[in-house]
Amino acid sequence: MIEVYILFFISALLVFMIGGSLASFIAVLVYREKEVSINTFENKKTFSKAILGRSYCETCKHKLGPFDLIPVLSYIYLNGRCRYCKNKISVEYFFVELVLGAIFTIDFLYSMYLLPQNGFNISIFYINLILFFIFASIIFYVSYYDIKNYLISDTMVALLSALGLVTMFIPEFLQQSSNMLFSYFSNQYLNIFMYHLLSGILTLILFLAIYILTNRKGIGLGDVYLSFPLSFILGFDLSLVFVYISFISGGLYGLYVLLLRRKKLKDPIFFAPFMGIGFLSSLIFYSYFLSLPIFLILHYYLGV
């Protein structure tokens, strides 16, 4: 029995390290992409080197070794300083690694909790886990880029849409195929596609209405575009949860910065991170949300 707990702990730690490592890479990618946009490069080779080159200290430019790049632990061990020049490293990198590592670990633990309910179906477990890691990494990049630049990448929005199109044909993903509110076609996959497409369009219309009614100050146009693939992936039921959590968390943050006078009412506030919170929460805890009375009643009256 002890061996099982040890194996479980090691697995959770490994998942955390994977998440932290990806977060570190994403943070560097966002930082270097901003630098690349400022400077002019002669050719693609120089551009690729700037984006994908080895990590280095921003102060002394010394290339970092493997032991300098262990997520979270390296920062703690080195007391938040560069091993070579002893200058302070921004605590932002520590929290970036901690957040994505924690998100990966929470999804892993909750997926393990649901394993008995899924009949210990390992294929469902791994499919959901891998897909979640992919979506979480992309959303984390979009959110972090929005925090740093107040912009949302059109490329990432298109990538999320493409991935959503692929995942909807994997019935195991979120086990949504049995809860469709749209079932007018004889072809099962066409039903699934229309269900997700309708969800994406309705959410897009909602965000576009907010964008127009607030005179482009409530949310950005990038947030409007991003709402489509996120809702497209989730489906109608979970999109309600996604929208609710997004606006509640975003509203609380807006109130917080206004009370502390860090922002004025007319100042822009990034919204993609809160959309990410709503989206990832819906993905992780989908079984809990779909068991809420409001969805049970909805399904009862709609006969699904």
Write down the pLDDT at residue 78.
Answer: 85
In sequence order, the 6+-apart residues with CB closer than 8 A to the CB of 29 are: 51, 141
Tell me the whole-structure pTM to 2 decimals.
0.86
| Whether 50 contacts 41, CB under 8 Å | yes
User: Per-residue confidence of the chain (304 residues) as pLDDT tens digits?
Assistant: 687 788 888 999 999 999 999 999 998 888 877 655 544 444 455 555 555 667 777 778 778 777 778 888 888 888 888 888 888 888 888 999 999 999 999 999 988 888 887 777 787 788 888 989 999 999 999 999 999 988 998 889 999 999 888 887 665 554 444 444 444 545 667 777 888 888 999 999 999 999 999 888 778 999 999 999 999 998 888 899 999 999 999 999 988 888 887 777 677 789 999 999 999 999 888 777 767 766 666 655 554 4
Q: For residue 260, which phi and psi values (nearest 5 degrees)? A: -85, 0
Query: Which residues is 56 bridged to in the sheet?
Result: 63
Domains of the chain, by residue range, sit at: 1-114, 138-304
